[in-house]
């Protein structure tokens, strides 16, 4: 199974407090630095789960860019795009603060270099993209690049990235095989306001997304688990799955990217969406127990084991 990821790579600077965050004060904790980025995380997760992965990403010829590129090459991920050397080019950085329970408090990202992934540059690799079973891209990309990718002859998978960037996907929803969003991003894309991530709110968001032409989506709900739906000849079917119990959560950084990757890996095996959602949740659970954006313990065998141990209802 071949997949090409088109999106952002950056270095994550992660500050985690040892106790609940106290606003406007200095909190004692730990600060780590490691490669990350939505696109890069998805590429690494898909690679760990057994896909043959290539990635179109924008890296500057600097310390961080070389660090990310070296890691990808060691993992066997192909990088068709060369380093950028412009005066203003610098590899992306994502800086986040995590609460004592591993949840995200806030983050700042510097991802301007992703604008280098222009439609012209991406279409230079059209043959590579169309030779893949899936093309995964994310909303860090320029709108015109996203529109160009929507014309690619492959199963297209998109990640919303953030509420601010979600509108960049508005015009390509009918072209997507699968969309991944968190609940806030899904609400923004659906243009639904004032709802909670409960049964009624999720139903409203799903109906609005279906009306916009989106046939399949996975929506992460944080501690409440995840939800997915699929439109078929028999109608629209939605299912949910809880978060795994008894997790030693260290960091939620990258968990949404791994959730998507586990879900897609299961779909590629012919699993129905309800089983695929369990696989995604199991993969995310493995990831939550690691400080790295993609856990070194992530593998399809380990995910299957987690599913068997935690989801008796799997078919």
Q: Rounded to whole angstroms, how far apart are CA atoms 154 and 135?
A: 6
- Give, rounded to a whole angstrom, the gap between the first and last alpha carbons of the chain: 23
Q: Tell me which residue of 129, 130, 3, 10 sits closest to 59, measured CA to CA.
A: 10
For residue 176, what are its two tokens? 């997507």
Per-position pLDDT tens, the chain of length 315: 999 999 999 998 989 999 999 999 999 999 988 898 999 999 999 999 999 999 999 999 999 999 999 999 999 999 999 999 998 999 999 999 999 988 889 989 898 999 999 999 999 999 999 999 999 999 999 999 999 999 999 999 999 999 999 999 999 999 999 999 999 999 999 999 999 999 999 999 999 999 999 999 999 998 899 999 999 988 999 999 988 888 888 888 889 999 999 999 999 999 999 999 999 999 999 999 998 889 999 999 999 999 998 887 665
pTM: 0.90
Q: What pLDDT is stored for residue 314 in this prediction?
A: 67
Cα–Cα distances in angstroms (integers) from residue 82 to residues 69, 110, 117, 136, 235, in the given order: 10, 20, 11, 20, 45
For residue 260, what are its two tokens? 């998507």
Cα–Cα distances in angstroms (integers) from residue 203 to residues 47, 190, 239, in the given order: 33, 11, 11
- In the block, tokens 């995590």 appear at 98
Q: What pLDDT is stored for residue 315 in this prediction?
A: 55
Q: What pLDDT is stored for residue 248 in this prediction?
A: 86
Domains and CATH numbers, the chain: 2-310 (3.40.1190.20)
Q: What pLDDT is stored for residue 311 in this prediction?
A: 83
Q: What pLDDT is stored for residue 103 in this prediction?
A: 84
Q: What pLDDT is stored for residue 279 in this prediction?
A: 96
Q: Rounded to whole angstroms, how far apart are CA atoms 175 and 135?
A: 12
What b-and-e string marks burial along 257-278, b requiring 16 or more CB atoms within 10 Å of the CB?
Answer: bbbbbbbbbbbbeebebbbbbb
Which residues, listed in sequence order, are joined to residue 92 by a DSSP beta bridge? 10
């Amino acid at each position: 199974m071949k997949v090409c990821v088109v999106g952002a790579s950056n270095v994550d600077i992660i500050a985690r407090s040892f106790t609940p965050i106290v606003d406007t004060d200095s909190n004692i904790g730990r600060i780590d630095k490691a490669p990350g980025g939505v696109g890069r995380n998805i590429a690494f997760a898909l690679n760990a789960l057994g896909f043959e992965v290539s990635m179109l990403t924008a890296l500057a010829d600097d310390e961080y860019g070389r660090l990310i590129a070296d890691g990808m090459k060691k993992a066997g991920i192909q990088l068709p795009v060369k380093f950028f050397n412009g005066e203003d080019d610098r590899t992306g950085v994502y800086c986040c603060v995590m609460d004592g329970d591993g949840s995200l408090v806030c983050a700042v990202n510097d991802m301007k270099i992703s604008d280098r992934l222009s439609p012209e540059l991406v279409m230079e690799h059209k043959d590579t993209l169309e030779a893949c079973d899936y093309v995964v891209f994310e909303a860090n990309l320029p709108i015109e690049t996203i529109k160009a990718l929507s014309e690619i002859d492959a199963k297209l998978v998109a990640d919303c990235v953030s509420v601010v960037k979600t509108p960049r996907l508005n015009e390509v929803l009918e072209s997507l095989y699968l969309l991944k969003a968190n609940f806030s991003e899904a609400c923004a894309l659906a243009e639904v306001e004032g709802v909670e991530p409960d049964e009624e709110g999720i139903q409203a968001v799903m109906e609005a997304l279906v009306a916009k032409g989106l046939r399949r989506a996975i929506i992460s709900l944080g501690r409440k688990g995840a939800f997915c739906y699929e439109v078929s000849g028999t109608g629209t079917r939605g299912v949910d799955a809880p978060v795994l119990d008894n997790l030693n959560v260290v960091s939620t950084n990258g968990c949404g990217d791994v959730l998507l990757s586990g879900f897609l890996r299961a779909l590629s095996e012919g699993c129905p969406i309800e089983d695929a959602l369990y696989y995604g949740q199991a993969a995310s659970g493995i990831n939550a127990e690691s400080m790295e954006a993609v856990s070194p313990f992530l593998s399809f065998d380990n995910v299957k084991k987690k599913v068997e141990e935690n989801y008796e209802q799997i078919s």
